[in-house]
Chain A
């Protein structure tokens, strides 16, 4: 109990007590150290929470930015839509153009002002033994059609047979065959277009009209305010 008793002899008893105390102290100190470390470990968790909060704030700011961007884009889209409304007019124009192209392809019936050319064999001339000299050949028709096309005819029909872009015309004796259908003279070539232009281009000096007259063909050119011709599909049968 007294001081001297412990201090004087470092007896076996005191040494064991010392060892036990050291061990206890070591354990306590070690666990204290460990808990301190754990606090260090938990402090990163706090930091993490902090960082998460910061991240959240950052994300919210980003959201705000993105929302503004979205609004901007939406206004842009609205602008586009507005311009699209004007584009729609252009679209209508395109539609008209498409209609025109269809007209040229002959997919729809054509009507409007135009010209009607009638080619007929000339009267039988007993002096001329060769009948080829006075009948209408497909070459004459070609000439007329080419001239009409060059001068801007929108649609051409021969004897009511609408010409396609890939129509063929061939001479089969006294008649001509257009897309497999035979037509005898007289040949009535109808063309929709500007009648003045078509007429003047045909009757140009030394032009188709003169050439036809030279070939002893009876040609009548007639301007018409209203020419109606069927579509290609109508006379397919």
Chain B
């Protein structure tokens, strides 16, 4: 369970320590990539909690979503329409949905545990 967090921290450290400058015109892509990554991450957590987690779906979803979002932003930049907003919107909505589902599952589990506890105490 701690391995993903370890990886996250490692990645954060790497990201902060790298000193590569990218042109400001590509910052949109980066924001979308962040959103896509978060979305996929939370989607994976949700899938895991719902016990429908699939390795291939997770990995492919992660990279494909990022690529799609970047491609959309690229297209948007080149045709002069802010298409990256669509990606941000989609990912944002999904992010919130995923987090909501996770929260609900957590609450459910917590409730179950409390009920169990109370049952124990009752007994």
Q: Which residues of A line the B interface, CB within 8 A?
A: 1-3, 6-7, 12-14, 16-34, 37-38
Pick the interface stretch among B16-24, B93-101, B115-123: B16-24
Convert B32-64 into 0s and 1s, putting 1 for each residue whose CB lies closer than 8 angstroms to a CB of A: 011001101100100000000001001100100
- Beta-carbon contact of B14 and A22 below 8 Å: yes
- Beta-carbon contact of A34 and B30 below 8 Å: yes
- In the complex where A6-B1, A31-B30 touch, is A20 in contact with B15 (Cβ < 8 A)? no
* Residue from B1, B14, B19, B30 in contact with A25 in the complex, judged by beta carbons closer than 8 Å: B14
In the complex, A21→B41 CA distance in Å?
Answer: 8
Q: Chain A binding site: helix, strand, loop or mixed by DSSP?
A: helix
Q: Name, among B1, B6, B12, B59, the residue most crowded by chain A CB atoms within 10 Å (CB to CB).
A: B12
- In the complex where A30-B30, A32-B16 touch, is A24 in contact with B1 (Cβ < 8 A)? no
Residues in A whose Cβ lies below 8 Å from that of B21: 37
Q: Which residues of B line the A interface, CB within 8 A?
A: 1-16, 18-22, 27, 30-31, 33-34, 37-38, 40-41, 44, 55, 58-59, 62
Add 8 more A-B contacts to A7-B2, A20-B37, A21-B4 (CB < 8 A).
A14-B3, A16-B55, A20-B7, A22-B11, A28-B37, A33-B18, A34-B22, A38-B27
**Chain A nearest CB, measured from B54 CB (Å):** 10
A-B pair count, CB < 8 Å, reads 111
Instruction: Return 22 A-B CB contacts under 8 Å, by A number.
Output: A3-B1, A3-B2, A7-B2, A12-B55, A16-B55, A18-B7, A20-B7, A20-B44, A21-B6, A21-B10, A21-B11, A21-B41, A22-B11, A23-B37, A24-B8, A24-B37, A24-B38, A25-B7, A25-B10, A29-B12, A33-B18, A34-B30
In the complex, A5→B96 CA distance in Å?
Answer: 29
Residues in B whose Cβ lies below 8 Å from that of A28: 11-12, 15, 34, 37-38
Residues in A whose Cβ lies below 8 Å from that of B62: 20, 23
- In the complex where A6-B2, A12-B55 touch, is A21 in contact with B15 (Cβ < 8 A)? no
- In the complex where A33-B18, A34-B30 touch, is A13 in contact with B55 (Cβ < 8 A)? yes
- Beta-carbon contact of B3 and A7 below 8 Å: yes
- Beta-carbon contact of B15 and A16 below 8 Å: no
In the complex, A184→B18 CA distance in Å?
Answer: 121
Q: Which 5 A-B pairs have the closest CB atoms?
A: A25-B11, A29-B15, A21-B7, A30-B15, A29-B12
- In the complex where A6-B2, A20-B41, A31-B30 touch, is A26 in contact with B11 (Cβ < 8 A)? yes
In the complex, A13→B55 CA distance in Å?
Answer: 6
In the complex, A2→B2 CA distance in Å?
Answer: 10
* Residue from A12, A20, A34, A37 in contact with B40 in the complex, judged by beta carbons closer than 8 Å: A20
Residues in A whose Cβ lies below 8 Å from that of B10: 21-22, 25
- Beta-carbon contact of A26 and B15 below 8 Å: yes
